[in-house]
DNA sequence: GACTTCTCTGCAAGATCATGCGCATTATCA
DNA sequence: TGATAATGCGCATGATCTTGCAGAGAAGTC
């Protein structure tokens, strides 16, 4: 187990219990206590927690989220989804991307797509509008991609920008294509997210776009989440992975959504 | 010479000449041709250039900037400046930060400042308003820091957000303290930047703040740059490094600016 | 069509970094 | 104040990554 995963695990433990003990964590992660100490020291240096004798405690009233520090679960599925979605982006398009691990993979796929590289007339090959800090940060150095970031407040422990400042910026743009990674997709309720602020931004993005593509790995299908993003009718294409069963995707296809399994 | 520096050097060569030859670059950087090939392949993968037989060419009409990919010149000076500036940020303050390598160090120093960690009542210990993508990205995971990002268009090859979207967001906030890293500081002309869009943002940030601190290493003093940010009268404190001579800082002190040499 | 030049791949040497252990020091608790 | 436990530091080991070299293959040239 490498360092970032271990940090992630430690922060997860800490988010759950509010505190951590060195020996306990060492046993849990099957590493030596010295390593845990080092990790805790570094995380304390980063102000992620406060060291105590024998362990550490959460810094503030600890946030509920386990904090996906740098997670990569279902990585290969998401990469395939990313490649499939990236293929739908044509040259010169203005695409909106929301935050999440899936959309991050999509962004990478768009960035490394060779066909988009030969831009005509010096203009950007593709314009990406996003509220995801990590996506913007990753794509910023590519000469052929124009990055537009919504402003707003960074959601704690995450990389998404939210709030009135963000919606204010989105009011002023139009998109050819909105690509939304969602937390849940239900045939009746449509797409939804866990966080209402996020959902609001995503809804606005879908509203501003001529076409809407939803990316959701198979585990998201049929699930419901708290905050609604948009109805099924607003979705033109759903991209999921090959683990999705026929029965799982049938309702969406019947509702007129084009379903792609990557 | 490590990999990021080598990439930086390669991109700098490429930005200057528009193309690169493998053998030539290998000789220049005193590494083997195989290494250059590998580097070029990776950069091509990232869409930073296009590979050709025997070398590579710039991707588009190449941008003028040498592209500070990950540069760290005058690192220790900037770290000292960063620590000094961070000490001026009190608990609960709302501070504005513009982009640049110096302000990035300041942001790191603010983030790792222990005294700010014990936040009272669960509120953020400090609120950072910035148009710098890299700063926002680095600070986003810290629970005790609230990050507000101006929206806008990412300047190609850089990490600063600019344009009307950015100014629109800045219009809606007020700052206790504006911390500006500048490209040039002249006793008569005040602070200035190389890029007019950047200068506009910086000006607005200074305008929105109750107090203005300018951070500029000694090489910036007495220099002039194209786009003016603000007059000397608007500046309350100047933080520079110990390489600045008495004569260099005298005019600023006489003009009523508090000068700190870190 | 042969030759030259460049490229790609596997392999080994080298460096770098993380990890684990032991010991001296320091802090906490009774 | 004394005992116990945790911490910090230094060093050795191990793994991983990077680099350079050499040979095979491919592309371009005359």
Residue B66 inside a domain? The answer is no
The verdict on A110 and A169 lying in the same domain is: yes
Residue A157 inside a domain? The answer is yes
Give pLDDT tens digits for A157-193.
Answer: 678 999 999 999 999 999 999 999 999 999 999 999 9
Q: Model confidence at A119, in pLDDT bands (50, 70, 90)?
A: very low
Residue B70 inside a domain? The answer is no
Question: Over 60: is that where the pLDDT of A63 sits?
Answer: no
Can you give the pLDDT at residue B157? 66
Q: Could you list the protein residues whose CB lies below 7 A from any atom in strand C? A: A 2-3, 6, 30-32, 34-35, 38-39, 53; B 22-23, 33-34, 37, 41, 51-55
Can you give the pLDDT at residue A84? 95
Residue with structure tokens 């000006």? B203
Cα A140 off chain centre by: 17
- CA of A35: nearest nucleotide by C1' is C19
Q: Which of A140, A161, A168 sits opposite B168 (nearest CB)?
A: A168
What percent of chain A is predicted at pLDDT more than 70?
90
The verdict on A154 and A50 lying in the same domain is: no
Can you give the pLDDT at residue A64? 44
Q: Which of B61, B116, B166 sits opposite A122 (nearest CB)?
A: B61
Sign, Cα dihedral of B9, B14, B17, B20: positive
CATH number where A105 lies:
3.40.50.1360
The verdict on B251 and B154 lying in the same domain is: yes
Q: Model confidence at A62, in pLDDT bands (50, 70, 90)?
A: very low
The verdict on A167 and A54 lying in the same domain is: no
- The residues of chain B scoring below 50 in pLDDT are 62-70, 117, 119-120
Can you give the pLDDT at residue B122? 57
B218 in contact with A, Cβ within 8 Å: no
Q: Count how many domains chain B has.
A: 2
**pLDDT, greater one: A5 or B177:** B177
The verdict on A32 and A94 lying in the same domain is: no
DSSP secondary structure of chain A? --HHHHHHHHHHHHHHHSEEEHHHHHHHHTS-HHHHHHHHHHHHHTTSEEEETTEEEESSS--SS---SS--TTHHHHHHHHHHHHTTPPTT-EEEE--SHHHHHHHHHHHT-GGG-S-STT--SEEEEESBHHHHHHHTT-TTEEEEE--EEEPTTS-BEESHHHHHHHTT--EEEEEEE-SEEETTTEEEESSHHHHHHHHHHHHTEEEEEEE--GGGBT---SEEEE-GGG--EEEE-TTS-HHHHHHHHHTT-EEEE-
The verdict on B194 and B82 lying in the same domain is: yes
Which of residues 185-224 of B have CB within 7 Å of strand D?
none
Rounded Cα gap, residues A146 and B73, in angstroms: 28
Interface of A with B in 179-198 (CB under 8 A): none
The verdict on B95 and B161 lying in the same domain is: yes
Tell me how long chain A is. Answer: 262
Can you give the pLDDT at residue A122? 57
Q: What is the 3-state secondary structure (H, E, C) of A43-69?
A: HHHCCCEEEECCEEEECCCCCCCCCCC
What nucleotides of chain C have any atom within 7 angstroms of a protein Cβ? 5-10, 18-22, 27-28
Average pLDDT over residues A59-79: 61
The verdict on A152 and A240 lying in the same domain is: yes
The verdict on B205 and B245 lying in the same domain is: yes
Residue A63 inside a domain? The answer is no
**Exposure of A230 by Cβ count < 10 A (0-12 exposed, 13-18 middle, 19+ buried)?**
buried
Residue B171 inside a domain? The answer is yes
The verdict on B87 and B168 lying in the same domain is: yes
Q: Model confidence at A121, in pLDDT bands (50, 70, 90)?
A: low
What pairs with residue A175 in β-bridges? A209
The verdict on A245 and A187 lying in the same domain is: yes
CB atoms near residue B114 (< 10 Å): 10
Question: Do B203 and B90 form a contact (C-beta atoms < 8 A)?
Answer: no
Residue A69 inside a domain? The answer is no
Q: Phi first, then psi: what are they for A6, rounded to 5°? A: -65, -40
Q: What is the dihedral of CA B63, B69, B74, B75, to 10 degrees?
A: 160
Residue A129 inside a domain? The answer is yes
Can you give the pLDDT at residue A142? 82
CATH number where B43 lies:
1.10.10.10
Can you give the pLDDT at residue B124? 78
Can you give the pLDDT at residue B11? 85
Question: Do B151 and A153 form a contact (C-beta atoms < 8 A)?
Answer: no
Q: Please name the helix (run of DSSP H) or strand (run of DSSP E) that holds residue B103, with its range, or none.
A: helix B101-111
- Residue A115's domain comprises 75-261
Rounded Cα gap, residues A19 and B29, in angstroms: 49
Q: Which of A50, A140, A153 sits opposite B159 (nearest CB)?
A: A140
CB atoms near residue B83 (< 10 Å): 18
The verdict on B37 and B109 lying in the same domain is: no
Question: Over 80: is that where the pLDDT of A202 sits?
Answer: yes
CB atoms near residue B81 (< 10 Å): 27
Sign, Cα dihedral of B86, B90, B92, B94: negative
Question: Do A261 and A240 form a contact (C-beta atoms < 8 A)?
Answer: yes
The reply to whether B245 has its C-beta less than 7 Å from any atom of strand D is: no
Residue A70 inside a domain? The answer is no
Closest among B152, B138, B144 to A131, alpha carbons compared: B152
């Amino acid at each position: 187990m490498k360092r970032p995963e271990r940090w992630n695990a430690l922060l997860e433990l800490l988010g759950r219990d509010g505190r951590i003990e060195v020996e306990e964590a060492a046993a849990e992660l099957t590493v030596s206590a010295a390593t845990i100490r080092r990790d805790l020291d570094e995380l304390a240096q980063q102000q992620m927690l406060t060291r105590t004798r024998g362990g550490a405690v959460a810094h503030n009233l600890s946030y509920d989220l386990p904090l996906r520090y740098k997670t990569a679960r279902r990585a290969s599925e998401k990469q395939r989804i990313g490649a499939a979605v990236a293929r739908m982006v044509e040259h010169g398009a203005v695409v909106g991307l929301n935050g999440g691990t899936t959309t991050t993979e999509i962004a990478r796929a768009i960035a490394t797509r060779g066909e988009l590289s030969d831009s005509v007339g010096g203009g950007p090959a593709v314009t990406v509008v996003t509220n995801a800090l990590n996506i913007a940060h990753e794509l910023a150095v590519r000469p052929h991609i124009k990055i537009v970031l919504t402003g707003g407040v960074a959601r704690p422990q995450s990389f998404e920008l939210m709030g009135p400042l963000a919606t204010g910026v989105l009011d002023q743009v139009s998109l050819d294509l909105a690509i939304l990674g969602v937390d849940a997709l239900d045939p009746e309720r449509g797409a939804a997210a866990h966080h209402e602020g996020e959902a609001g931004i995503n809804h606005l993005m879908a509203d501003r776009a001529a076409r809407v593509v939803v990316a959701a790995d198979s585990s998201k299908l049929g699930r419901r989440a708290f905050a609604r993003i948009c109805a099924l009718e607003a979705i033109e294409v759903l991209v999921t992975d090959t683990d999705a069963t026929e029965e799982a995707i049938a309702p969406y296809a019947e509702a007129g959504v084009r379903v792609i399994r990557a």
